[in-house]
Amino acid sequence: TRCSTGTSHGKIILMGEHAVVHGEPSIALPFPAVEMTATVCEAKGPLTIDCSYYNGIAAEMPEILESMRTAIHSAMAELQVSDENLAISLASTIPAERGMGSSAAVSVALTRALFAYFDKPLNEATLLRLVNISEKVAHGNPSGLDAATASGDAPLFYIKGQPFEAFPLNLKAYLIVGDTGVTGQTKEAVSSIAAKLNGKNPQPYRDAISRLGTFALTAKSAIEANDPSQLGELMNQAHAVLSFLDVSSPDLDRLVSAARFGGALGAKLTGGGRGGCMIALARNRSEAEKIEEAIRQAGAIRTWIYQMGGTEDV
């Protein structure tokens, strides 16, 4: 049988999640340690989609299956083809709905696989435009950050409505990523912040969003100046502000505290929050391993160590 594949990877938001939706700066990193592959094969009969990637969460989150269907239909419409005689499946190591951009990664991989199958070139602008259609279904009001980071290889600095700016991550430090094992709720978290900003007393929430933006800007300078302590401090402050916005959770707070007690320069939730993943910063690999152990003890179901840049230490 004739088959084509499309791939993408996870992403980590270092700074600016949620604030990016409201026009503030953000920084996100591609996270190739977790990957997504979509396969489109020739088949007899009507379209079939293997949704086992979303086993266990599809029932609570019908929008993620809907966003998958939207991704397929948007690509088909752009390609001007019908969906007959195709079998589509996904294989992935990205934990689904944990703040690693899984929904964007699914759409990116599906779109790439379909364009490959129909032998049509796909440029970045078309890819991001198509993925944004399904991301609206998944998240309501996506900033576009997830799709760009899941499809590209560079760390990105991004302000909504402006071009993505790739920048070198020449910081000698390590990120430790910990998964609470609890499904995040990006859509609800995004809309709860919108409700606060449109509510009776919006000022404290507006201030919180703009502080998160300032942290992202300052974090960019800290990275450029190779200053891990300052970046860690900004991560701690960002976690406090995200908690004030009510997008943390007891599980995230427990892992964040464990990382700090374990010696992290800073720690915060990453992505949509209310579950999902957290990140912590360490100066070198041996400190990173201690922090990794601390967050495992505190209940992380999976952990990763990500070398941010600079030279490998011994």
Q: Is 266 in the site for ligand PMV (CB under 6 A)?
A: no
CA-CA distance, 132 to 148, in Å (whole number)?
10
Stretch that binds ligand PMV, among 39-47, 137-145, 163-171, 223-231 (CB under 6 A): 137-145
Size of the site for ligand PMV (CB under 6 A): 18
Q: Is 139 in the site for ligand PMV (CB under 6 A)?
A: yes
Closer of 39 and 249 to ligand PMV (Cβ): 249
> What's the closest the beta carbon of residue 135 comes to ligand PMV, in angstroms?
7
Q: Is 291 in the site for ligand PMV (CB under 6 A)?
A: no
Using CB under 6 A as the binding rule, the residues of this chain from 21 to 60 that contact ligand PMV are 21
Residues contacting 150, CB < 8 A, separation 6+? 8, 9, 10, 11, 30, 36, 101, 104, 105, 108
- 146 is an active site residue: yes
Rule CB under 6 A: choose which of 14, 15, 18, 213 binds ligand PMV. 18
**Which structure tokens are listed for 248?**
């943390």
Q: Is 100 in the site for ligand PMV (CB under 6 A)?
A: yes
The owner of tokens 């690693």 is 100
Rule CB under 6 A: choose which of 9, 14, 15, 20 binds ligand PMV. 20
In contact, 28 and 11? CB cutoff 8 Å:
yes
- Phi, psi at residue 234, to the nearest 5°? -65, -35
Q: Name the active-site residue from 50, 83, 119, 146.
A: 146
CA-CA distance, 117 to 111, in Å (whole number)?
10
In contact, 37 and 92? CB cutoff 8 Å:
yes
Query: Torsion over CA of 14, 137, 48 and 8, rounded to 10 degrees?
Result: -20
> What residues are labeled active site?
146
Contact residues: ligand PMV, CB under 6 A:
13, 17-18, 20-21, 99-101, 139, 142-143, 145-146, 184, 186, 190, 271-272
